Structure 1
Amino acid sequence: MNNAKRNNTIFSLENQPLFTREGASYITKHYSFGILSTEVPLWTPSPTKCINLTSVQASAPLGVTLTLSSNGNAFFALRVTSHSAAISQQFPSEYRFKPNDAISLRTSDEERATETSGASNATQVAYNSRSDFINVANATGLPNMQFATLNSALITRTSGRLVLEYSNLVPSASSQLQIESVKINFYCRLSLTLAVGTSSMIYYWRPDPAEDWIQLQQESLSLIGTIDHLSVPIQQDITTEVLAATNPWNVIKNMQTSFVGGHTGLGLGNTIQLDAVVIDIRMVGKNEISLFGSET
């Protein structure tokens, strides 16, 4: 009998032997993960050993399908559909694998959560020693076709910098979510009716009020025409920068955006308008799975 040994310490008579299976240590494999588009090994047995899987438990804050496979063949799938739900599956008998075969996991049909927010506060600071925007408070909130406006002037160049602050960007369930993307949407328009000088819009952000501004892009016109981002915003992707931080959620909590406008030409009729600067955060769940069993 394989994995069996004779126990002579219980019965002293040779004609009454007791044979017991050599006990395998109980093993729990626990993992936390986000999206796994390709198979990732979860449990690799010791050399020449077989995995004996007895049960699986999984939880996810957002809907997701978890598929377990071994040696390239899927053998079990769980669909978690309820918020923060946990599912347990106890096998009627242990699921025994071939020697050296590992158990792998991939995810599919992942649900996403989104957080969209306009600025909660807008202030103007000097740019090139000028603070010429009017109706600054109109730049707060979501797009509503009410504008903070910078007009050109007859005898002076005009400019200004708007600083946008945000509140409640971090969702209450952030500990259960991973950031997938962060994008800044500028709803703005530059209109030149007088081709004198250059008018510009410059887009910035920074991860913390103590940090320097990071320029994202500049758009300018020196000929009569319009740059219009009021219906379809100009979008800036800062995902890489946010995820590079030690704590990305701290960046989301403290980040600011800035919109700079300037008219170098003298004369009336050139206009820069800012409707809103909106942050879009896309998130996936922090999923968890536990595998229970042994190796023999």
Structure 2
Amino acid sequence: MTSAPVLPPDPTTAPPALPRDPETSGTLALADAAGEALLQLRASTPLVQCLTNEVTTNLVANALLAVGASPAMAAVPGEAEELAGVAGALLVNLGTPGPDQRACVEPTVAVAVGARTPWVLDPVAVGVLSVRTRLAARLLTERPAVVRGNASEVRALAGAASAGRGVDARDGVDAARAAAAGLAARYGTVVAVSGPVDLVTDGTHEVRLAVGHRFLTLVTGAGCALGGVVAAFSAVAEPLVAAVGASTLLGLAAERAAEHAAGPASFQVALVDHLHAVTSDDLAARVLAGATVDVVGVPA
């Protein structure tokens, strides 16, 4: 926490658009940008302030350390806001919104917005549980850089009836496609929908990511860790690149970890190891192999 803060991308300056050839140059540009983002992340060690699920704090912090960021897990009113003003990025995960976290969230997001600190919303179990659903609806108006959730959570954020069961999705990724694009367009955000094939959209570009391993669904906190890694990437890259780079990095690390794991417990340990071991060239190559990019209109 003694490293200098990393200045976030300037939201008033439009990032360069991806090339409009979805099958070749668009994917190549995205792969190169993701690899470069990982290099910048590890060179700058951005401070990532996390208001996150207390059940998964340890895995989130270790994942951030493994990819090259510096985690701060402060959820104390007053301190949380101070950190948001100097951090490279902020993660807001609604997994266990106890009294202290609820008291922190909105003031901390307000400070982050004022300081132009990019922030990531992980709407855990939104649509199923009422307190966090109302909180998430208010937070959306502060325009997070990235919203990362499963299909049921994303559909619920867009106002659809939830088919989730706690943190588990009952909807497929394609069922959330219109909701994700609509949220992205309405709030000027990027929406990342996790599933067997991830979907990432800014309302114009739609990226499919075929990467990951089923063991990710058997480890408590894998999605929370992904939210933290998205935040770390957001400190050094524009939101679409951040979401794609983080999702691919976690998925690639999972694929490699599963090769040697006896089951979910050893997989979790190996996952952190491989998050640390993946290189920028590895990441760029996996984006190129696993991503498809389309340029689409916002679904009606």
- Give the structure-1-normalised TM-score: 0.20
Which structure's CA Rg is the greater one?
1
- Give the structure-2-normalised TM-score: 0.20
Structure with the bigger percentage of strand = 1
Higher relative contact order (CA 8 A, sep 6+): 1
